[in-house]
C-alpha cells in the first residue's frame, strides 16, 4: 500500500481555484453554526415556495458546493475537472420521490436520458432511487407483508418494468446502476427488486448495485447472507456500503410506533459493522463488487490496508471508493493520487427539485461530529499553503 496521508491538502484541493477554495471555506464556516443552518434552510424553503427571486443566491452558494448543475450539460465542466484529477463521477438525478404514475414514468424517461448521456461521456455509474419510480405507500404495504389488490399487483409489475428498463439500458451501455437505500419500513421490497435484477444482470460483470446502511444493526448479517446467496446462484453481488442517512427519522418513528429501534446502539457499533462489511466484501472479491462509500478516514485506510495485505491491486475493478461531491475532498483526491478507483456522487437537477437534498447535506454536516471543523481546518491549511 502506498503511504496515504489525508492531511495532504495540496492533493485534496488540487481541483479548486483560489476563489473556489475561499468560497468553500466561507460556506462551511456558515454550516458550522447549527442555528444558522436551521434558519437558513427554513428561509430558503419558504422563499422558494413563495417564488421569491432567491435562486441566484442558492445557485452561487450551497448548490454550487454540492451539485454539478441544473441540467446534464451543465455537469460536463465539473465531470471534466474531476476526471483531470483521476476522479470519476456518479451521476445522481437528485429529484425527490413523486406520487403519480405519470411522474414515475417521467422519472424513468429522465433516468434513461442520464444513462445515454453517461455512455456518451464515459461516465461509469448513475444513481437511482426506487422511490422515484414507485409509490411509497405501496412499498410500505409490501414491506408489511399485507395482501395487494389486483390493481396494486399490476402497479408493482409496472414498477418492476421501470426498474428493468433502466437496468437493461445500463447493461447495454456499460453504465452501472447504483440503487440507493431507503427507510427501514420500505427497504425489504427494494432489496427484493434489486436482488432479482442482480441475478439477471450480474452474471458476467457487476451492473446493478444495492446499498446497505450499516447504522442498522441487522445489516451485517444481511450482507453475509446475500454474499452466500450470490455464490450459490453464480452472480456477482454488487453493493454500496454506507453508514446511513435516516437515523433521526428512524429512531423517532420506532419510538412513536413502539417497535424495536432498528439503529445501532452507538456510533462505535455502526463503525465496527461498516468495517466488518468492507472486510467481508474485499475478502470475497471474486464474488463481490463493492463501493466503499465513506467520509471516514479510518475506514478508508483500513480498506486500503486490507487490499494490500491480500495482494489486491489498487485498481481492482470490483473495488471502488466514493464520497459526495463537495465533501471530504481530502479523502477523495488523496486516494485517487495513490492510484485507487475513486468517485464523486454528483447530484444535478433544477434548484427547486434538489432543495430537499441540499437541506439534508446542510443538516447532516452540522450533525456529524467533527465534520465541519475538519473541513474548515483543512481548507484553512491549504489557503495558508498557497499564500506561501
User: Does 166 score more than 60 pLDDT?
Assistant: yes
Stretch 251-275: mean pLDDT: 95
User: Does 253 score more than 70 pLDDT?
Assistant: yes
pLDDT interval class at 371 (50, 70, 90): low
In a domain, 43, yes or no: no
- What pLDDT score does 96 carry? 64
- What pLDDT score does 244 carry? 85
C-alpha cell at 100: 403519480
Stretch 154-159: mean pLDDT: 98
- What pLDDT score does 2 carry? 66
101-113 tens-digit pLDDT: 999 999 999 999 9
In a domain, 5, yes or no: no
**107: burial class by Cβ within 10 Å (0-12, 13-18, 19+)?**
buried
User: Does 368 score more than 60 pLDDT?
Assistant: no
Q: What angle do CA 52, 55, 61 make, to 5 degrees?
A: 135
Neighbours of 106 (CB within 10 A): 14
Counting the structural domains of the chain, the total is 1
User: Does 201 score more than 90 pLDDT?
Assistant: yes
In a domain, 120, yes or no: yes
CATH of the domain at 337: 3.20.20.220
Range of the domain at 267: 68-352
pTM for this entry: 0.94
Stretch 176-187: mean pLDDT: 96
In a domain, 3, yes or no: no
User: Does 367 score more than 60 pLDDT?
Assistant: no
In a domain, 341, yes or no: yes
Q: What angle do CA 86, 72, 82 make, to 5 degrees?
A: 15
CB-based contact 288:240 (threshold 8 Å): no
In a domain, 160, yes or no: yes
Mapped onto helix, strand or coil, the DSSP state of residue 347 is strand
In a domain, 8, yes or no: no
Distances from the Cα of 230 to the Cα of 225, 239, 281, 312, angstroms: 9, 12, 12, 21
- Span of 43-57, 166-180, 367-381 with lowest mean pLDDT: 367-381
Stretch 163-168: mean pLDDT: 98
C-alpha cell at 18: 483560489
C-alpha cell at 187: 427497504
In a domain, 24, yes or no: no
Amino acid at each position: 500500500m502506498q503511504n496515504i496521508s489525508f492531511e495532504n491538502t495540496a492533493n485534496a484541493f488540487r481541483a479548486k481555484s483560489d476563489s473556489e477554495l475561499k468560497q468553500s471555506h466561507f460556506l462551511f464556516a456558515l454550516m458550522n453554526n447549527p442555528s444558522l443552518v436551521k434558519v437558513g434552510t427554513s428561509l430558503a424553503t419558504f422563499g422558494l415556495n413563495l417564488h421569491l427571486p432567491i435562486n441566484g443566491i442558492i445557485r452561487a452558494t450551497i448548490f454550487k458546493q454540492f451539485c454539478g448543475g441544473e441540467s446534464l450539460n451543465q455537469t460536463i465542466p465539473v465531470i471534466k475537472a474531476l476526471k483531470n484529477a483521476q476522479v470519476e463521477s456518479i451521476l445522481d438525478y437528485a429529484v425527490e420521490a413523486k406520487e403519480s404514475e405519470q411522474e414515475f414514468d417521467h422519472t424513468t424517461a429522465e433516468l434513461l436520458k442520464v444513462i445515454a448521456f453517461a455512455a456518451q461521456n464515459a461516465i461509469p455509474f448513475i444513481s437511482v432511487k426506487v422511490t422515484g419510480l414507485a409509490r411509497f405507500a405501496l412499498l410500505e404495504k409490501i414491506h408489511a407483508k399485507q395482501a395487494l389488490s389486483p390493481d396494486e399487483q399490476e402497479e408493482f409489475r409496472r414498477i418492476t418494468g421501470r426498474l428493468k428498463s433502466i437496468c437493461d439500458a445500463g447493461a447495454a451501455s456499460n453504465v452501472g446502476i447504483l440503487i440507493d437505500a431507503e427507510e427501514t419500513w420500505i427497504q425489504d421490497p427494494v432489496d427484493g427488486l434489486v436482488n432479482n435484477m442482480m441475478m439477471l444482470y450480474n452474471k458476467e460483470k457487476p451492473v446493478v448495485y444495492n446499498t446497505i446502511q450499516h447504522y442498522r444493526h441487522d445489516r451485517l448479517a444481511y450482507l453475509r447472507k446475500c454474499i452466500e446467496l450470490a455464490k450459490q446462484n453464480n452472480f456477482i453481488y454488487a453493493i454500496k456500503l454506507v453508514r446511513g442517512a435516516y437515523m433521526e427519522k428512524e429512531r423517532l418513528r420506532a419510538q412513536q410506533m413502539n417497535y424495536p429501534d432498528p439503529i445501532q446502539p452507538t456510533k462505535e457499533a455502526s463503525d465496527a459493522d461498516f468495517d466488518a462489511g468492507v472486510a467481508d466484501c474485499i475478502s470475497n472479491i471474486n464474488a463481490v463488487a463493492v463501493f466503499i462509500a465513506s467520509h471516514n478516514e479510518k475506514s478508508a485506510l483500513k480498506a486500503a490496508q486490507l487490499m494490500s495485505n491480500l495482494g489486491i491491486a489498487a485498481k481492482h475493478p470490483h473495488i471502488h471508493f466514493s464520497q459526495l461531491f463537495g465533501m471530504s475532498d481530502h479523502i477523495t483526491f488523496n486516494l485517487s493520487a495513490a492510484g485507487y478507483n475513486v468517485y464523486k456522487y454528483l447530484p444535478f437537477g433544477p434548484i427547486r427539485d434538489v432543495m430537499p437534498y441540499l437541506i439534508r447535506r446542510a443538516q447532516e454536516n452540522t450533525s456529524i461530529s467533527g465534520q465541519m471543523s475538519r473541513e474548515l481546518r483543512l481548507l484553512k491549511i491549504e489557503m495558508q499553503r498557497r499564500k506561501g
